[in-house]
């Protein structure tokens, strides 16, 4: 999340505004696009940028850009829609490919870093605010009771006054859920055709988090939009993922004693590593877990005894908080799992990782804006029948799902049409993701296998790794790579920098699927000094230390299959 990594993902907290550049007096192939007529589209500006630099208000300048044509447009598929898109077109050196890019959270802004990375790679690149900017949304907030004077909420952009996000705007919800990216893709391709006088030879999509949800939604709903799709840490099971955020906040705020103090997440993480590092296939010197499913750490071992007091240990109430943190979001009446819990090894006091340390310090749950879309402004007030502090995980789920699930949840496992035209899906997820449980991506991939092999074998158990015909069929068009020690889309103590787009393009264009992807950890997450390298293995394989050799060198690891790992899965009605 902190370092420059082309094509790996989009950070959730990417705040940017539109930069306005003056139109050149003399018409050019770029400025001529100002008059381009496209369905339900207004071209707001078409400008040449030959300066090598782009500046968005409130953000550092983006430098090292090739000359490009910048198109700013608004898409209006319904009377209540206002979808902002940008298309950046290299004026020379175009690689002949179209690249759709995603963003994070509720978006509401253009992800200029994604556009710049695509442009530097030679792509004609496009990005969208998902239509939520018209409701005043930003990546972290799209409905809230205001920042309530909380410094952290203010720092992360929560507006001062209450807001309802997309409440009362069902068409904008559809734009956010699936329509904005699809229309961005259609209009973007038409703009590419008009500028270059030819169609792109290949179309790719790359996104992480909400961008990962966009990616899976494209494969499911609009399978002909892209030839190759890169989906990182996808927020695909969105309604239940946001319920997990509510659950996490309520868990830590159940009583004053349940709150995890500053520094204690690091305390827990150190205890997890002490118990489990090197026993999960990784190297004994690792500062992260290689496969956290092997770790059975119980926070009870940190229970305060004798004269020890917090923050050097955990009270019994804090032990309960951490046990529920790992246990997942559960219906208190029937015990059904609604969303997987956090994996051991993702504990961090880094607020930018958007985990529990961030969540519990806000006046109301992060990302609870989704529920304002259903319940309206009353959701922000504890006196209301349904609000962020008393949301009932047995009775209130159905109302949310009835309104939002069909529009927001990219949970279909039938990708036959996408597969039929030769489409390839490459997924990745950090094992140490504190925001979206890493198990979720495994569950989706296993569900793809289950869909391919109904009646052949239960998804989730892969003897020998290659003996399952349903797995082989799935891996012919969809592959998952788990990333040891990576936080949400980037960052973390593990090897968190990698290029997943190039292997995807090779797969699409030559038919050669990726077996491994080389990941790098830079010193202080800043190139060029390399701290370590490690292979990312095609799931269900994971990297295993060979027992000798430099543990910081990828050559000291071999990809092996773990046959008997436990995969925490939601109840069928909440899955996959």
Contacts for 490-493: CB closer than 8 Å, 24+ residues apart:
490/1, 490/2, 490/3, 490/5, 490/8, 490/9, 490/11, 490/208, 490/430, 491/1, 491/2, 491/350, 491/352, 491/353, 491/525, 492/288, 492/348, 492/353, 492/430, 492/432, 493/287, 493/288, 493/432, 493/521
518 CB neighbour count, 10 Å cutoff: 14
> Do 165 and 372 meet the contact criterion of CB atoms below 8 Å apart?
yes
Give yes or no: 169 in active site.
no
Which token pair is 128? 């969208």
Query: Residue 102 and residue 215: Cα distance in Å, rounded?
Result: 8
Give yes or no: 488 in active site.
yes
CA dist 574 to 245, 396, 565, Å? Answer: 15, 14, 21
Give yes or no: 253 in active site.
no
Question: Which residue in 144, 488, 490, 556 is the catalytic one?
Answer: 488
Which token pair is 521? 């950890």
Query: Residue 355 and residue 349: Cα distance in Å, rounded?
Result: 8
21 CB neighbour count, 10 Å cutoff: 15
Phi first, then psi: what are they for 206, rounded to 5°? -135, 125
Q: What is the DSSP letter of 278?
A: T
Rg (CA), the chain: 23
Query: Residue 357 and residue 348: Cα distance in Å, rounded?
Result: 7
Cβ neighbors of 197 (< 8 A, separation 6 or more) are none
Three-state DSSP class for residue 38: coil
The burial of 338, by beta-carbon neighbours within 10 Å (0-12 exposed, 13-18 middle, 19 or more buried), is given as: buried
Q: What is the DSSP letter of 408?
A: H
CA torsion through residues 266, 350, 498, 504, sign: positive
- Establish how many alpha carbons lie within 13 A of residue 85's alpha carbon, considering only the half-sphere containing its beta carbon: 32
Query: Residue 147 and residue 20: Cα distance in Å, rounded?
Result: 29
Question: Which residue in 111, 135, 163, 209 is the catalytic one?
Answer: 209
CA dist 555 to 112, 121, 536, 546, Å? Answer: 36, 28, 12, 9
Question: Which residue in 129, 158, 368, 433 is the catalytic one?
Answer: 433
Query: Residue 173 and residue 76: Cα distance in Å, rounded?
Result: 14
CA angle 189-194-198, nearest 5°?
A: 75
Which token pair is 187? 């209009």
Residues with catalytic roles = 209, 433, 488
């Amino acid at each position: 999340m902190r370092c420059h990594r082309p094509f790996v993902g989009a950070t959730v907290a990417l705040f940017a505004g539109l930069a306005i550049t003056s139109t050149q007096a003399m018409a050019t192939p770029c400025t001529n696009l100002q008059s381009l007529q496209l369905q339900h589209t207004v071209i707001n500006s078409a400008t040449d940028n030959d300066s090598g630099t782009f500046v968005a208000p409130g953000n550092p300048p983006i430098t090292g850009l090739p000359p490009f044509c910048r198109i700013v447009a608004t898409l209006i598929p319904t009377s209540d829609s206002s979808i902002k898109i940008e298309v950046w077109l290299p004026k020379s050196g175009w690689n002949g490919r179209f690249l759709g890019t995603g963003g994070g959270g509720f978006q509401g802004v253009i992800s200029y870093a994604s556009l710049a990375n695509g442009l530097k790679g030679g792509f004609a690149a496009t990005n969208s605010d998902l239509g939520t900017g018209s409701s005043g949304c930003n990546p972290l907030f799209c409905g809230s009771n205001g920042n309530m004077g909380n410094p952290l909420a203010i720092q992360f952009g929560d507006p001062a006054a209450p807001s309802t996000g997309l409440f009362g705007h069902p068409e904008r919800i559809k734009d956010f859920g699936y329509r904005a990216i699809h229309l961005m893709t259609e209009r973007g391709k038409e703009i590419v055709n008009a500028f270059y006088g030819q169609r792109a030879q290949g179309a790719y999509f790359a996104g992480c988090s909400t961008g990962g949800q966009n990616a899976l939604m494209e494969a499911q709903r609009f399978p002909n939009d892209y030839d190759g799709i890169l989906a990182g840490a996808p927020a695909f099971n969105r309604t239940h993922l946001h319920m997990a955020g509510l659950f996490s906040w309520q868990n830590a705020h159940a009583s004053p004693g349940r709150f995890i103090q500053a520094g204690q997440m690091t305390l827990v993480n150190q205890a997890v590593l002490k118990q489990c590092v090197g026993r999960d296939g990784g190297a004994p010197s690792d500062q992260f877990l290689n496969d956290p499913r092997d770790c059975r750490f119980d926070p009870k071992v940190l229970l305060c005894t004798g004269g020890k007091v917090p923050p050097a240990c955990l009270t019994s109430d804090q032990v309960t908080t951490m046990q529920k943190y790992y246990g997942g979001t559960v219906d208190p009446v029937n015990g059904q799992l609604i969303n997987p819990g956090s994996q051991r090894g993702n504990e961090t006091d880094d607020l930018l990782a958007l985990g529990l340390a961030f969540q519990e310090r806000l006046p109301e749950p992060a990302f609870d804006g989704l529920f304002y879309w259903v319940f309206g402004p009353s959701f922000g007030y504890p006196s209301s029948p349904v609000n962020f502090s008393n949301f009932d995980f047995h009775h209130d789920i159905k109302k949310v799902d009835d309104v939002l699930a069909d529009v927001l949840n990219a949970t279909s496992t039938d990708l036959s049409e996408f597969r039929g035209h030769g489409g390839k899906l490459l997924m990745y997820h950090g094992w140490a993701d504190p925001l979206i449980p890493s198990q979720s991506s495994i569950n989706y991939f296993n569900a793809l296998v289950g869909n391919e092999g109904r009646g052949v074998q239960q998804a989730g158990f892969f003897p020998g790794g290659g003996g399952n015909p349903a797995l082989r069929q799935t891996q012919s068009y969809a592959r998952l790579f788990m990333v040891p020690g990576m936080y949400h889309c980037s960052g973390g103590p593990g090897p968190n920098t990698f290029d997943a787009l190039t292997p995807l393009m090779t797969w699409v264009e030559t038919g050669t699927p990726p077996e491994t992807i080389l990941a790098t950890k830079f010193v202080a997450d800043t190139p060029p000094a390399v701290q370590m390298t490690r292979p990312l293995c095609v799931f269900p394989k994971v990297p295993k230390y060979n027992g000798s050799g430099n543990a910081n060198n990828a050559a000291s690891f071999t990809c092996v299959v773990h046959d008997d790992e436990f995969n925490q899965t939601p109840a069928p009605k909440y899955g996959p």
